A and B are shown apart, each in its own frame.
Chain A
Amino acid sequence: MKMVNAFNMKRAAAGLRRINLDGLRWRVFDAKGQILGRLASQIATVVQGKDKPTYTPNRDDGDMCIVLNAKDVCVTGRKLTDKVYYWHTGQVLCLKHFSLNIDIMVYRYVGHLKERTFKDQMAKDPTEVIRKAVLRMLPRNKLRDDRDRKLRIFPSSEHPFGDRPLEPYVMPPRSVREMRPRERRAMVRAQKAEQQQQNTDGTKKGKKREAPEESA
């Protein structure tokens, strides 16, 4: 991964010449502990320039987005094991051509549906996860590639843009929904088991009140 990091740094600063206007701001997103999709939708809004009053649909005027700590992005539910990225490669032909004297076997590349789970993708390249999520939220038009160029994603907190005027992006407050009854019972049971291991006295029921019911 260290080799990849070095490569990323050089590649991350490249391509800046292609981006025309530098009246753009540099917004920094911290992905640590953020949910993948919710973060990606905010990034997509900023990269399109939709939070500016001078938004024009035929002109790409989004801010430069830097995403840090991409390896710490979270997903809910069972997506860590169950979310699969699919893509299709190659041609499915595999010809064997037998001529009279010579056996000529012509193989095309046998490609087919490839898949990779979320966990494996995070192990291989965590920036791709966020990049795919954001790209698939952008409108599919001619500006999509330019907007992709404005996204710089880094797996950790280091980035080569330290000398630019960076602005941190404050995510909008989020209301986490109540836990489902089965989940909550499981959590309560787990906490009780933990406590019974720790305290050999009576079991306290006060920990039940700490359910995550934050609503902002």
Chain B
Amino acid sequence: MTRIKRGYIARKRRTQIRLFTSSFRGAHSRLTRTISQQKIKALVSANRDRDRKKRGFRGLWIHRINAIIGKNKKKQYNRYSNLLYNMYKGQLLLNRKIVAQMGILKGNCLLMIANEIIT
């Protein structure tokens, strides 16, 4: 059999990966073997963190709601937990994102609602 070189198949495949990793730091964008590894790790992180992002934002909203509710009202139960409990009791179907945004932009609105709901 005659000798057949594979040509530039491997190089074509690797340049695609190199393009993806072109902005990474140090050896992670220069060395061929580490480039393949880093691309895999990056994609894994991205996939996993797309779900984590949802968790993270929900926690942040809860935090912010707690901050504004707890600070301004002088009622006894001025906590996030009480606000949510009373919202569910009163069937007020606002999600935490909207309530947090209300807290930032229209704080007085949120406090008015909270004053009415929380017993």
A interface residues with partner B (beta carbon < 8 Å): 50-57
Kindly report which residue of chain B lies nearest to residue A45, judged by CB atoms: B67
Q: Please give the distance in Å from B100's CB to the nearest CB on chain A.
A: 7
- The answer to whether B60 and A53 have CB atoms under 8 Å apart is no
A82 and B64 CA atoms in complex are apart in Å by 39
- The answer to whether B67 and A50 have CB atoms under 8 Å apart is yes
Counted as pairs of residues, one from A and one from B, with CB atoms less than 8 Å apart, the total is 23
The listed residue (B65, B67, B100) touching A52 by CB distance below 8 A is B67
B interface residues with partner A (beta carbon < 8 Å): 60, 63-65, 67-68, 70-71, 100, 103-104, 107
CB-CB nearest 8 A-B residue pairs: A53-B68, A53-B103, A53-B104, A53-B64, A51-B71, A51-B67, A53-B67, A54-B104
Kindly report which residue of chain A lies nearest to residue B105, judged by CB atoms: A53
Known contacts A53-B65, A56-B60; can you find 19 more A-B pairs with CB under 8 A?
Answer: A50-B63, A50-B67, A51-B67, A51-B70, A52-B67, A52-B68, A53-B64, A53-B67, A53-B100, A53-B103, A53-B104, A53-B107, A54-B64, A54-B104, A55-B60, A55-B63, A55-B64, A55-B67, A57-B60
Chain A interface mostly helix, strand, loop or mixed?
loop
A57 and B64 CA atoms in complex are apart in Å by 11
CB pairs A–B below 8 angstroms (11 shown): A50-B67, A51-B67, A51-B71, A53-B65, A53-B68, A53-B103, A53-B104, A53-B107, A54-B104, A55-B60, A55-B67
Q: Please give the distance in Å from B73's CB to the nearest CB on chain A.
A: 13
A141 and B70 CA atoms in complex are apart in Å by 26
Q: Please give the distance in Å from A193's CB to the nearest CB on chain B.
A: 41
- For A50, list chain B residues within 8 Å (CB): 63, 67
- For B60, list chain A residues within 8 Å (CB): 55-57
- For B65, list chain A residues within 8 Å (CB): 53
Most chain B C-beta atoms within 10 Å of own C-beta, residue among A50, A53, A55, A56: A53
